[in-house]
Chains A and B, each alone.
Chain A
Amino acid sequence: MKTLLLTGVLLAVSGAGAVKVGVLLPLSGAGSVSGQAAKNGYDLALDEINRAGGVLGKPLEVVYGDDTSAPAKAVPEFVKLVTVDKVDFMAGGVSSAVSVALSGPAKQYNTFMAWIGAAATPVEDAFADHKYFFHYHPWSYYNFEAILNFFKTLKVKQGAKNIAIAYEDGPFGSAGIDATVDAFKKAGFNVVMTEKFKTGSGNFGPLVSKAKAAKPDILYWVGYDTDALPLATEVKQQNLKLGLIYGTPPSWPVGFEKNPLADNISGLSLWLPTSPNPESRTFVTAYKKKFGTVTEEYFAPLAYVNLKSLAAAINKAGSTDKDKVAAELAKTSMPTPFGPLTFSKSLKTQYQGFKAGNWLHFQFLGDTRVPVYPIKFAQKQLVWAK
C-alpha cells in the first residue's frame, strides 16, 4: 500500500508542470478510420519529441479524448479536456460537424487549437475571429480547386462532360454544394444529378438508379468511409457505366483496396506512402518500426506534423504562453511529408497551413493507391473505364 501511495505521489510530482496537449479525435463512429490513423501519428510524434528531450525540458503529455464522431459527445469531451484535465493546448479534430460545435466552447475558454481536419467552410466561418486557431488541413475550396483541375484534364483527355454528384447531408458534404455545382458548370461540365444521402445508411439503390437515368461520365461523391463499399457495390450491381467514380472521404475503409470493387475508384489524398520526399520516407520508416505496418491514411502524417510543429513552437516560445506560442507557430517553416509547412491567411482565418497545391489524386489499382495526377507525381496512367 505504501509503495502504491509513493508511486502515485512520484507520478503526480513528475507530471506537475508538464506541458499537456489535449487531442480530440473520432476514435469511434463514422470518422474513426481517420481518427485511429491520426492517433498513431500523434503517438509516433510524441515518442520522438520525448526522446529528443520533450518540451521546455519536460516530457510532453498527450491526453486523448474520443469525440465519437458526434457533436453532442464532442462538446462535453472538449470541455472536460480544457477544464478538468487542464490541457495547455488542444489538437486533433477531424469532423467538420464536430468542429463547428466546438467553436462556442473554444471561444468561451479562449482555447489554443492546432486543428488537423474539418475542411468544411462553416468551420472557417465559425473560427474566423478566433485568434488561436491554426488550421493544417486545406479548406474544402482548396480541395475543390484541386479536383476541378483534375476533372478539366479528364474533359480534354477523356471527353468527360457529364458529372453526377452524390453528397452526404452533413456539413462535410453539403456546405458549398451550390458553389460546387456552379463551378463545374462554369468549367463547361453538365451537372446531370445532384443528390444527397445519409452517411452510413448504406442505401444507395435509388441514388444509383437516378444516376443511371442521368448517364454521367463521372460520379463524384462526397461522404465518409462507411459509404464507399455500399456505393461501389450498388454501382456494379445496377451496371452503371461510368468513366470514373471519384470520392473524397477523409479516409477509406480498412482493407478497401483489397476488394475488387475498389478497382479504378479514384480519390484525393494529401499524401501517399510512395511520396518520394525525404521527410515522407523518414516518416514511413519510423511508422513501420513502431507499428509494424505502413499506413495509407494521410491523417497519420498530418497528426505527426501537427504535434511536431506545435512542440517546436512551444520550445521556441520558451513558455506555454498562448500569444508567444501562437507567434512562433505562425512563423513555422518546416519540411514535412506533404512538402513545406508554413501558415498564411485563408479567405477568413489567419493561420492556414496546407492548400490546394498539396493535393494529389490517386486510383485504386491492383490492391493499392497509385498516384495518377498531377502528372509529375503520377506513377501510372489513369484507367478510364468507359
Chain B
Amino acid sequence: MDLFLQTLLNGLLQSGIYALVASGLALAVGVVGIVNFAHGEFLMIGAFMAWAASAFLGVDPLLSLPIVAVAVFGVGALTYRVSIRHVLLAPELNQMLLTFGLGILLQNLALMLLGGNTRTVTTPYQASSLSFGELSIGGPKAIAFGLAAALLGALYFTLYRTVLGRQMRAVAQNRRGAQLIGIPVDRVYLIAFGVSCGLAAVAGVLVSVLLFASPTVGLVFALKAFAIIVMAGLGNLTGVLWASVILGVSEALVQTYVPGGGGWSDAVFFLMIFGTLVLRSFRRTA
C-alpha cells in the first residue's frame, strides 16, 4: 500500500513541472495560435540563467526566479517582434519551420557559448523532504507543484478577470473581430508570447534545481508538454493541469508496476497522444 501511495505521490509531484512547461505552451498555441517548437529552449535559457546566478553570484536559483522570468519574458517578446509576428498569417508549415529553426539556433548558441557539459547547482533544500510514515514528499518537487498551481491560478485570473485577459480571449477567438473593436492585437500577441516564454523559464529554474542545466535539457520537457496540450485540447488552459496529472501519474504507475517500466516511460506520452487523437476522431464521427 505504501508503494502504491508513494507512486501516486511521485506522479503527482512530477506533474507540477509538466504543468508549468505545458501552460506556457498552451498560451502560445491558444492565444497567438502558433505551435512553438522552441518552447523547450526557452526553458533551457531559464535553467542556464538560474545556474549562472548561483555559480557566479551565489544567488539561490529560487530567488533569481522573478528576474529570470522577466528577462526571458523580454527575450520572448523580442523573439515575437523579430520573427514570430512575420509568419502569423503564413501557412502553418512555415510557422512550424520557423519555431523549429529557432529552437535549433538557440540550442546551438548555448552549445557555442557554454559548451555541452551538464551544469548542476547546489542548494540547501535540494534533498529536503517531508515524511509521513513511509511516505515522503521531495521539497523541490513540492515547490514546483505549488508554483505551477499558483502560476496557473494567476494565469486563469488574468484571463478571466482582467482587461488584458479579456483581450487575449477575444484575440484567441477571432483575430479580425478583435481588431475591428479596437483591441491592439499585435501588443496582445507580444505579451502572450512573452508570458509563454517566461513560464517556460520559470520551469527551467526549477529544472536547474531538480536536474541540471544543459543545452538539450528542454527537449524532454517540451515533448511532454506537447503531449499534455494535445490531451487538454489545443489552447485549452483549464485542461492542462489535469492532463499533466494524468501524464505524471500514468508514467509513475508504468515505471513502478510494469516490468522494465523505466524503459517504457517515453511510450506513455506517445500512447496518450495516440489515444487522445483516436478518441477525438471517434467523437467527431459519432
Contact = CB atoms under 8 A, between A and B. Distances in A.
Contacts of A26: 116
A209 B129 contact: no
Contacts of A213: 2-3
Given A35-B116, A201-B220, A254-B120, A206 B136 contact: no
A27 B108 CA distance: 12
Contacts of B14: 203, 205
Contact of A200 (B11, B116, B220): B220
B262 A233 contact: no
Interface string B124-135: 001111010010
Interface stretch (B32-40, B161-169, B235-243, B252-260): B252-260
A195 B140 CA distance: 24
Contacts of B207: 202
Interface string B248-271: 000110011000111101100000
B116 A233 contact: no
Given A29-B216, A233-B210, A260-B122, A203 B136 contact: no
Contact of B118 (A32, A197, A198, A238): A32
B116 A226 contact: no
Given A207-B255, A233-B210, A201 B118 contact: no
- Which of B3, B117, B252 is the most central at the interface, judged by chain A CB atoms within 10 Å of its CB? B117
A206 B119 contact: no
Contact of A198 (B7, B139, B263): B263
B262 A197 contact: yes
Contacts of A190: none
Contact of B116 (A32, A230, A260): A32
A116 interface: no
Contact of B127 (A29, A35, A200, A237): A237
Given A198-B265, A210-B3, A230 B211 contact: yes
B3 A209 contact: yes
Interface string B146-181: 000000000000000000000000000000000000
B262 A237 contact: no
Given A197-B262, A209-B6, A237 B139 contact: yes
Contact of A28 (B111, B134, B211): B111
A33 to B, nearest CB: 5
Contact of A205 (B10, B220, B261, B263): B10
A292 interface: no
B232 to A, nearest CB: 21
Interface in A139-156: none
B61 interface: no
A340 to B, nearest CB: 32
Interface in A166-213: 166, 169, 195-198, 200-203, 205-207, 209-210, 212-213
Contacts of B234: none
A169 B263 contact: yes
Given A32-B118, A226-B212, A234 B138 contact: yes
B210 A230 contact: yes
Nearest to A203: B14
B16 interface: no
Interface string B178-220: 0000000000000000000000000000010011101110001
B255 A203 contact: yes
B115 interface: yes
Given A202-B210, A203-B251, A237-B136, A33 B215 contact: no
6 contacts: A26-B116, A203-B255, A205-B13, A233-B138, A234-B138, A256-B120
Interface of A: 26-29, 32-33, 35-36, 68, 166, 169, 195-198, 200-203, 205-207, 209-210, 212-213, 225-226, 229-230, 232-234, 236-239, 253-256, 258-261
3 shortest interchain CB distances as A-B pairs? A28-B116, A32-B116, A205-B10
Given A202-B211, A234-B138, 13 more contacts: A33-B117, A195-B260, A197-B265, A203-B251, A205-B138, A206-B10, A207-B255, A226-B118, A233-B140, A237-B127, A238-B138, A253-B117, A255-B120
